[in-house]
Every structure is written in C-alpha cells, then in structure tokens.
Structure 1
C-alpha cells in the first residue's frame, strides 16, 4: 500500500487512477485497474444511453469488489444529465467531471454522498472547482493526452502551484506512466496520478490491436496538437491522418472541412477497426516511456515496484551523505 490523502479518500491501495478514455473506459479495463489496487473509471461518454452505462456498471460490480468511479465529460458532445442521474441510481460514490463547470450537478451528487473530483487545466479553474465544493481536483499538465488547456504549463510547475494555492487534495495528470514519475508527483505534493496513455497499452483495454502495435513504435515526439482552430486544443497520436488535419488547420480550414477528422464516428472507426487513416486519439508525451503491452496487473505492479525501488535508492543515498 502507498498511502496518501487520495488513497484514503477513495479507499484504494495505490495512488494510481485510470484516465477517462472515450469508448475504452468500460468494464474490462475499469475492473482490472480497480482489482490491481488503483481506481478504474467508467467513461460515461462510451455509452449511447444511461441504460447501457448502468448495465456496464453492474457488470463491473460482478468483476471487482474494489472501489471504482465514473468519468463524466460535461458539455463536450451532448447533455450528460441522464448519466449523472445514472451514477446516483447505480450507487457509485466517486465521480470525476471534466470539460465544463460541474456546478449544475453538485447539489444532486453531494446529496447522494458522491465524492466529486474535477479535472482542471489550470490553477484558476481548479480554484473554481474547490469553491463549488469538489473534494479534490486533477490538474492537467501540458504533456497530457487530450486537452491541456490554453496556458501550456507543464506538470512540474502546475502541480506545485496547485498544491500551494488549494486546500483540497491535488491529483497530477500529464506525463505519468512510471513509478519514478508517480514518486515525483507525490514529492511535489500530489495525492495520486491519473494515467490515460499508459492504459492504452494494456491487454484489457478494448483498443484494436493494430493501434496498440502502432503505439509500441512511437516516441515522445510522436504526438500532434490539433483542434486549435476551434478552441479545443488536443494532443493526439501522430499519424498521417492527424498531420493532415494539423496542416488543414494551419491553412485556415473551416469547421466543416475538419469535422470528418474529429467526428465521433471517425474515432470509433479508429479504435474499433484499427484504421489509422481515420479519427484522432488522445495521446500523451509519456508514450515515449512505454514500449510494451502488458496486463493492467503487470503495469501497476511494475509502477509500484519502480516507485518503492526509487524511494529506497533516494533514502539510502540521502542517509549516506549525512
């Protein structure tokens, strides 16, 4: 066990939280992460209806008796009211919100004794989440896959700033996939890390094998920043397709021209069929530190071993110099 304020709050063994993965944060991955001592998150946006989500939550409950939560992206693609209602109906007690302000849902979630953790790309938005009554915040550094915000602040600075200025626990996101990086986050004051990219390279995640094989060949330079032209900047996996999108945006393409590249349908085709010539998928720079697909249990075991080994090394060296 690695004990922090976040592990205590969420009832988990290790300060490792699965990122909200659109279309991929479903029962096989979620239960595997929770069973291995982390916190798995059902991604509400993976389902067409509340009923579908509730069915997968119930399936997850049969696959693990450990805590897990639900990730809800607010105002990104569609209204999420029914999914918030579904969380309350399901009895799940942990919700991660992202995207727009979660204020409209706070009263209902709090009345149901749900822990609410909001994902923020800056200290300013993290402070707003704190003022709304969120129990903790995730801060996204520039290295992260998906949406890093507009300020391009790296995790090294953002974590320390957030810890200094907030009174609620901080979870670090953006650049974390190894035990050494988890130890660094804890040393900076974070209570846990949230990882998305690392779990893309797990055996349990329902991502097409062609994509996993491609990810194995990538380095830290193999991401592209797209969707800048519509104010939704996102770091995604570099492919000929995403490079083409990047170039179109530089040339001043209209939303109608770039939409086929970023639509939900094209993304689904990418993750389901492995067609690298369609869709874009969020990917962090830490992909450069990942070179093998492993089971979730192996991933978390490796991270924990690396964390403890590095902590022991630092402790011994520090004591030896006294």
Structure 2
C-alpha cells in the first residue's frame, strides 16, 4: 500500500453503496468504481471518482471495498468471469460491507488468502439516509493489523465509527444479530402502533410518546415519519429482512441457541408476503420498504390505513457538518 494516498476500489452502487463511496470521494480519496449498471455510478464520476468497465480493472488498487446484495454476488465480482481476481494481480486488502452468511464469508476469506490477500468483514448498520447524515455505524473482524490500516477509511464512511470485535467472521455474527433485532423491533413496533390506533390514539401521538420514552431509539424515531405518513420509500426490503432472519435462525441452530422470538417474527414476516397477493401490484408491495409491515398488521386488524399528514422529524436531517 502506498505510504501516502492509497488507491481505493469500490464495487456496488446501490442504495447504500453509492453514498458510502461518495463519502470517500468527498473526503478527497482516490476512488475507482465499478457497478453492474454503469449509469448509477456516473454521478460519482462527476465528483471525482474514476469509473472502470469491469471488476478486473480494480485488481491494481491498494484496498477494495464491496457493498453488494448477497454472498453469490460477492463471489461473482471476486472470482467470476471478469472478476477482480481474473488475472495475476490482486488488491492486498479486501473490505466487504455486505450482509452475508458466516460460512460464505469464511470460504471467501480462505480463497483470498490463497491469493495473498487479507479480508476484513465490515457489515454496516443504517440506510442511505444514515450514511448521508453521518450516522452510519460499522462492525469489523479480521486480522487486527490489517484492520488498523483500513480503520481510517471505514471511519470516513461510517460517521458513528467502527467497532472491531475480533478475528474471522465475528462481525458477521454481530450483523446477523443486529438485523434479527431489527426484524423483531419492526414487527413489534407495527403491532403496538396498530393496537394504539385501534384504541383511538393517532399514530403520530403514540409514536411521539414512544420516541420520548426510555423505549425510544434512533431507529424508532427515524421510522416514525414513514409509519405516520405511510411513506414506503425503500431503504430495506422485506425480502432482505427475511434473508437476515433466516441467517439468524440458522446460526441459532448451529450454535444451539433457542430463538423463539425470532421464529415468531419470521412467521409474522411471511404473512407480509401472503398479504401482497391481495394487492393490485403484489411485487410493488414487496419492493416497498420493510416498514410497510404496518399495512399487513393493519389488514389483519381490520383497519384501513390513511396518511395522517403530520410531518415528523427523523433525527437524520443532514447538518452542514455531516454534508462536508
């Protein structure tokens, strides 16, 4: 790695990947980017990033970050046709911010080691708005000496910092546990919000009370506007949430940890997929944000939801400092 300014490679320009890479570019780092749909990356080129035509063209970077949907996608951009490791050259450090299974991560780590490369698992917590407002957080695992080299760049991406939890795939377990809690909290939040509404309490009033109580959180606050005004702009889909619950349940079985609450949440989430079939456009319902689980709970409670047209602060408003 260069003693001065390393060259950073980036793969993945989705809802999370774009603003994450953008923070590195805005911070003045040299970033080379590949995305399957090149048009999605072109606005970043206007800010100073260099676009490449294939992952193979990133083989000469000092460190490579990836933010993709699945382990299969990650394997493809690393080892598939036209992948980063197609030729003889390879980045010395790979940093993956995706949410994938521990077994997949361990296999990729081993294959990269055979090519003389180190691997840092670094899944993140938040959404695109969190990234832009400087409130993303991250958890990392892998060789400590390698983590120390990449930590300053992860800190740029994750405004709330990064927690190093040890060797191997421990960060994957942390992210799986995190997203299991995300599913459980979201399902319960939808249930109690509909419970209060059916008793006669406006959603905005109930959620304002919750957010100001000891049970409120960054998450409940930033989802409040969506739940009050039925804004299902996608940050994370029900399908991705279901994948993460399945990963959590699989880990529970492997480690012999009983997870009855997670099991019940997984079953409740499946009802959302069934409710989609009652909609005029089932796929659009499933492509909407996972907070639309509120609609499924309302449906089973016999309630027809309407927006309350009460703008609610999310806590993720972008400050001038965060935008820098």
TM tier, shorter chain? 0.3 to 0.5
More helix, by proportion: 2
Structure ranking higher on relative contact order (CA contacts 8 Å, 6+ apart)? 1
TM-score normalised by length of structure 2: 0.34
